[in-house]
Chains A and B, each alone.
Chain A
Amino acid sequence: MSEKPWISVCEIDDLFPDTGVCALVNNQQVAIFRSRRLDEVFAISNYDPIGEANVLSRGIIGSIGDEVVVASPLYKEHYNLRTGECLEKPEYTVAVYPVRVDDGLVQVQA
Chain B
Amino acid sequence: MKKRIVVVGNGMVGHKFIDNLVNHADADQYQVITFSEEPRLAYDRVQLSKYFSGSTAEDLMLTSEDYYTEKSVEFILKDKVVDLDFENKEVITASGRREGYDKLVLATGSFPFVPPIPGNNGEHCLVYRTIEDLEAITRSAQQSKIGVVVGGGLLGLEAAAALKAAGLETHVVEFAPRLMAVQLDEGGGKLLRRKIEAIGVKVHTQKATNEIVAGTEARYRMNFADGSHLETDMILFSAGIRPQDELARKCGIQVGERGGIVVDNNCQTNLDDVYAIGECALWNNRIYGLVAPGYQMAKVALSHITGGSEQFMGADMSTKLKLLGVDVASIGDAHGATPGSLSYTYSNDVEEVYKRMIVSADNKKLLGAVLVGDVEAYGTLQQMCVNGMDLPEDPNCLILPSVDGAGMAIGVDALPETAMICSCFDVSKGAICCAVQDGARTMGDIKAVTKASTGCGGCSALTKQVMDAELVKLGVEVSNHICEHFPHSRQELADIVRIKQIKSFDDLLDQHGHGLGCEICKPAVASILAAFWNEFVLDKKHIGLQDTNDIFLGNMQKDGTYSIVPRVAGGEITPDKLIALGQVAKEYKLYTKITGGQRVDLFGAQLHQLPAIWKKLVDAGFETGHAYGKSLRTVKSCVGSTWCRYGVLDSVGMAITLENRYKGVRAPHKIKFGVSGCTRECAEAQSKDFGVIATETGWSLYVCGNGGMRPRHADLFATGLDDATLIKYIDRVMMFYIRTGDRLQRTSVWMENMEGGLDYLKQVVINDKLGLCAELEEQMAYNISQYQCEWKTTVESEELQKRFKHFINADVPDNNLAYVVEREQIRPATALERTNSSIQFVELVD
The contact of B814 among A16, A25, A54, A63, by CB within 8 Å, is A54
Chain A residues closer than 8 Å to B518, beta-carbon distance: 60, 62-64, 69, 71
Is A58 in contact with B802, judged by CB distance below 8 angstroms? Answer: no
The contact of B547 among A37, A60, A69, by CB within 8 Å, is A60
Is B516 in contact with A63, judged by CB distance below 8 angstroms? Answer: yes
Q: Whose C-beta in chain A lies nearest to the C-beta of B521? A: A62
A35 to B509, CA, bound (A): 14
Instruction: Annotate B485-512 by CB proximity to A: 1 below 8 A, 0 otherwise.
Output: 1000000000000000000001000000
A80 to B485, CA, bound (A): 17
Q: Is B809 an interface residue (CB 8 A)?
A: yes
A74 to B555, CA, bound (A): 11
The contact of A21 among B519, B540, B559, B808, by CB within 8 Å, is B808
A29 to B807, CA, bound (A): 8
Is A58 in contact with B551, judged by CB distance below 8 angstroms? Answer: yes
Q: Is A9 an interface residue (CB 8 A)?
A: yes
Instruction: Annotate B514-543 by CB proximity to A: 1 below 8 A, 0 otherwise.
Output: 011111011100000000000000001001
Is A19 in contact with B816, judged by CB distance below 8 angstroms? Answer: no
Kindly list the 10 A-B residue pairs having the minimum CB-CB distance in the complex, ordered from nearest: A18-B544, A62-B518, A71-B519, A63-B516, A60-B519, A73-B548, A53-B560, A58-B548, A21-B808, A24-B810
Is A38 in contact with B516, judged by CB distance below 8 angstroms? Answer: yes
Is B515 in contact with A63, judged by CB distance below 8 angstroms? Answer: yes
The contact of B516 among A16, A59, A62, by CB within 8 Å, is A62
Q: Is A61 an interface residue (CB 8 A)?
A: yes
Q: Is A10 an interface residue (CB 8 A)?
A: yes
CB distance from A61 to the nearest CB of B (A): 7
Chain B residues closer than 8 Å to A49, beta-carbon distance: none
Q: Is A68 an interface residue (CB 8 A)?
A: yes
Is B560 in contact with A24, judged by CB distance below 8 angstroms? Answer: no
A35 to B522, CA, bound (A): 14
Given known A-B contacts A10-B809, A53-B558, A54-B816, A62 and B543 have beta carbons under 8 A apart: no
Chain B residues closer than 8 Å to A62, beta-carbon distance: 485, 515-519, 521-522
Given known A-B contacts A16-B544, A59-B548, A73-B547, A54 and B523 have beta carbons under 8 A apart: no
Is A55 in contact with B556, judged by CB distance below 8 angstroms? Answer: yes
A103 to B702, CA, bound (A): 60
Q: Is A43 an interface residue (CB 8 A)?
A: no
Given known A-B contacts A38-B516, A58-B552, A73-B548, A23 and B809 have beta carbons under 8 A apart: yes
Is A36 in contact with B556, judged by CB distance below 8 angstroms? Answer: no
Tally of contact residues, B, Cβ under 8 A: 36
CB distance from A18 to the nearest CB of B (A): 3
A18 to B517, CA, bound (A): 10
Is A17 in contact with B812, judged by CB distance below 8 angstroms? Answer: no
Among A39-97, those with CB < 8 Å from B are 47, 51-55, 58-65, 68-69, 71, 73-74, 76
Chain A residues closer than 8 Å to B559, beta-carbon distance: 53
Q: Is B545 an interface residue (CB 8 A)?
A: yes
Chain A residues closer than 8 Å to B521, beta-carbon distance: 62
Chain B residues closer than 8 Å to A22, beta-carbon distance: 806-808
Is A16 in contact with B540, judged by CB distance below 8 angstroms? Answer: yes
A13 to B816, CA, bound (A): 28
Is A55 in contact with B560, judged by CB distance below 8 angstroms? Answer: yes
Chain A residues closer than 8 Å to B548, beta-carbon distance: 55, 58-59, 73
A103 to B816, CA, bound (A): 33
A9 to B809, CA, bound (A): 6
Q: 7 extra interchain contacts, Cβ-Cβ under 8 A, other than A10-B809, A63-B485?
A: A24-B810, A58-B551, A60-B519, A64-B484, A69-B518, A71-B519, A73-B549
Q: Is A14 an interface residue (CB 8 A)?
A: yes
A19 to B812, CA, bound (A): 21
CB distance from A74 to the nearest CB of B (A): 7
Q: Is B770 an interface residue (CB 8 A)?
A: no
Among B540-572, those with CB < 8 Å from A are 540, 543-549, 551-552, 556, 558-560
> Which B residues are within 8 Å of any A CB, using their own CB?
484-485, 506, 515-519, 521-523, 540, 543-549, 551-552, 556, 558-560, 802-803, 806-810, 812, 814, 816, 831
Is A24 in contact with B809, judged by CB distance below 8 angstroms? Answer: yes
A17 to B802, CA, bound (A): 15
Chain A residues closer than 8 Å to B544, beta-carbon distance: 16-19, 36, 60-61
A96 to B516, CA, bound (A): 20
A69 to B506, CA, bound (A): 17
CB distance from B556 to the nearest CB of A (A): 6
Chain B residues closer than 8 Å to A53, beta-carbon distance: 558-560, 816
* 9 interchain pairs, CB-CB under 8 A: A18-B544, A23-B808, A47-B816, A53-B560, A54-B814, A58-B556, A59-B519, A59-B548, A65-B484
Chain A residues closer than 8 Å to B485, beta-carbon distance: 62-63
Is B516 in contact with A37, judged by CB distance below 8 angstroms? Answer: yes
A15 to B806, CA, bound (A): 14
A29 to B806, CA, bound (A): 10
Q: Whose C-beta in chain A lies nearest to the C-beta of B811? A: A24
A54 to B606, CA, bound (A): 12
Chain A residues closer than 8 Å to B546, beta-carbon distance: 60
Q: Whose C-beta in chain B lies nearest to the C-beta of A47? A: B816
Is A68 in contact with B808, judged by CB distance below 8 angstroms? Answer: no
Q: Whose C-beta in chain A lies nearest to the C-beta of B505? A: A18
Q: Whose C-beta in chain A lies nearest to the C-beta of B546? A: A60
CB distance from B798 to the nearest CB of A (A): 13
A54 to B516, CA, bound (A): 24
Is A24 in contact with B812, judged by CB distance below 8 angstroms? Answer: yes
A25 to B810, CA, bound (A): 9
CB distance from B817 to the nearest CB of A (A): 9
Given known A-B contacts A14-B802, A14-B808, A16-B543, A63 and B556 have beta carbons under 8 A apart: no
Chain A residues closer than 8 Å to B515, beta-carbon distance: 62-63
Given known A-B contacts A53-B560, A54-B560, A68-B516, A60 and B543 have beta carbons under 8 A apart: no
Given known A-B contacts A16-B540, A59-B519, A23 and B807 have beta carbons under 8 A apart: yes
